[in-house]
């Protein structure tokens, strides 16, 4: 029975994709790459992070500095960002049932917490921020050890193929959502345990996984 739910943040809880693209494009001249076009965006949605970085054309050695600056600028964007419809209600229901809820994100803990508080969604037991784009499986394994979570009782929810890879490597079930970064097509090719195309589908799947008829 599932007792713990770990969420990704950007693209899973918060609808931030267009804003992140805007911020990245605003730094293109500084970091020496061309602004991302709509054609490139469509291409990147069907790529893993390594391929997407190549499509972006940013120097790999400059990437960490670019990401740090995007996180800094992101703070000023929080007031304009919204959660995906239905996510807030889902989180509150999970919290009411006493489940352990955590966020593991490449965004900063400060940005994540500010957004959650602004939208009355700060129901999480813990937030692990500033996670690297690579090695998310190691972070998941570490977080489960720190919080004494059993893999067979844990499920991870994210919007990218690297979330699927990380969850499988960490030995936990994974739900992919299609309203974030990666497309349904490429998510399916990585065989997550379930693919949700709208938040309401998460409710139905989680109800079965929790094995609690009174959950929802």
Look at residue 133 in the predicted model and tell me its pLDDT.
77
Burial of residue 213 (number of CB atoms within 10 Å: 0-12, 13-18, 19+)? exposed
Look at residue 145 in the predicted model and tell me its pLDDT.
96
Look at residue 215 in the predicted model and tell me its pLDDT.
52
Look at residue 127 in the predicted model and tell me its pLDDT.
97
Decide: helix, strand or coil at residue 175: strand
Q: Which parts of the chain have pLDDT scores under 70? A: 211-216
Look at residue 212 in the predicted model and tell me its pLDDT.
53
Tell me how far apart the alpha carbons of residues 56 and 193 are, in angstroms, rounded to a whole number. 30
Look at residue 190 in the predicted model and tell me its pLDDT.
97
Look at residue 132 in the predicted model and tell me its pLDDT.
82
Tell me how far apart the alpha carbons of residues 133 and 141 are, in angstroms, rounded to a whole number. 16
In degrees, rounded to 5, the angle at the alpha carbon of residue 133 between the alpha carbons of residues 88 and 94 is 20
Burial of residue 35 (number of CB atoms within 10 Å: 0-12, 13-18, 19+)? middle
Domain definitions of the chain by residue range: 4-15+83-210, 17-79
Class of domain 4-15+83-210: alpha beta
């Amino acid at each position: 029975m599932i007792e713990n739910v770990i969420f990704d943040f950007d693209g899973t809880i918060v609808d931030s994709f267009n804003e992140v693209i805007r911020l990245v494009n605003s730094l293109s001249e500084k970091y020496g790459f061309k602004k991302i076009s709509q054609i490139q965006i469509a291409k990147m949605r069907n790529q893993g992070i390594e391929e997407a970085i190549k499509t972006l054309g940013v120097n790999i050695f400059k990437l960490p500095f670019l990401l740090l600056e995007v996180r800094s600028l992101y703070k000023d964007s929080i007031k304009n960002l919204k959660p995906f419809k239905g996510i807030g209600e889902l989180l509150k229901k999970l919290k009411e049932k006493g489940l352990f809820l955590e966020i593991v994100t490449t965004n900063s803990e400060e940005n994540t917490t500010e957004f959650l508080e602004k939208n009355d969604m700060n129901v999480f037991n813990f937030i692990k921020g500033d996670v690297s784009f690579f090695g998310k499986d190691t972070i998941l394994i570490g977080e489960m050890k720190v919080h004494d979570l059993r893999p067979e009782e844990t499920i991870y929810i994210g919007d990218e193929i690297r979330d699927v890879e990380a969850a499988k490597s960490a030995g936990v079930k994974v739900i992919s959502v299609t309203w974030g970064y990666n497309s349904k097509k490429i998510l399916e090719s990585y065989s997550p345990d379930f693919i949700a195309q709208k938040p309401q589908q998460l409710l139905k799947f989680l109800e079965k996984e929790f094995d609690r008829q009174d959950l929802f």
